[in-house]
Amino acid sequence: MNIKDGIKGAKFNLVRWLRNRIFTGIIIALPLIATIAGISWIVQLIDNNVLKILPRTINPNTYLGFNIPGLGLIISLFLFFILGLLASNFIGKSAIKAGEYLLTKVPVVSPVYNSLKQIINTVAKQKERAFRDVCLIEYPRKGLYAIGFITADLSGAPAEILPDGYVCVFVPTTPNPTSGFLLFIKEKDAKILDMTPEEGAKMIISGGMVSSSDNSDKNIKK
């Protein structure tokens, strides 16, 4: 190999090295940028809506001459705190129940409020049990498998029709796990994986590219 070929090879290696470093930097920066952008968007959205209904006479931004980022969020948290204090005593509970009673009498608002309240109360009570186990099920047809989350034992109207031993399984879509399908399957047909819900969610969002090192041996609990 002559000197010219050696210089050309060195340039190629340098370009490849620079390209790999840039690509690695992008991979590291993207989640951070997305997180900052998402938090900024949420804070700005709350600020705009809260400060919009706040009278100018008690709005600090009116006197300061500039906007304070996160002020609306702080005010919202303070109001939630006050609401929590009211709900912890007899008078506050009575007032909240009276307000809820009025909402149940409004034709269009009543079903929406009751449904949202039931969902929120269920999630709040279950907390960490919202996703009980990560499982592998045969779906959408025999020979194909999908990752799902066992959320609860089957109850309600479906439990009156189906035999005992069924569970509720939420099968999310990739790469957006907020949408998916609710399936009722026999508990014995769900293969429980040695994964936490967080690890399962990461694998789904990444399309299978990210998985826990603890699961590299693909162990499955029998």
**b vs e for 140-173, b when ≥16 Cβ sit within 10 Å of the residue's Cβ?**
eeeeeebbbbbbeebeeeeeeeeeeebbbbbbbe
The Cα 11–Cα 5 span in angstroms is 10
CA 70 to chain centre: 22
**Regions of the chain short of the pLDDT cut 50:** 128, 214-222
Task: Tell me the per-residue pLDDT of 145-177, one tens digit each, with 9 for 90 and over.
Answer: 999 999 889 988 999 999 999 999 999 988 887
**Given this model, what pLDDT does residue 38 score?**
84
Question: What DSSP designation does 128 have?
Answer: G
Tokens of 74: 């702080």
Provide Rg for the chain, Cα atoms.
26
Tokens of 79: 């109001």
**Given this model, what pLDDT does residue 214 score?**
47
Tokens of 203: 């694998």
Q: Nearest-5° angle of CA 169, CA 172, CA 173?
A: 150
**Given this model, what pLDDT does residue 207 score?**
84
Task: Tell me the per-residue pLDDT of 31-50, one tens digit each, with 9 for 90 and over.
Answer: 788 888 888 888 888 888 88
**Given this model, what pLDDT does residue 165 score?**
93
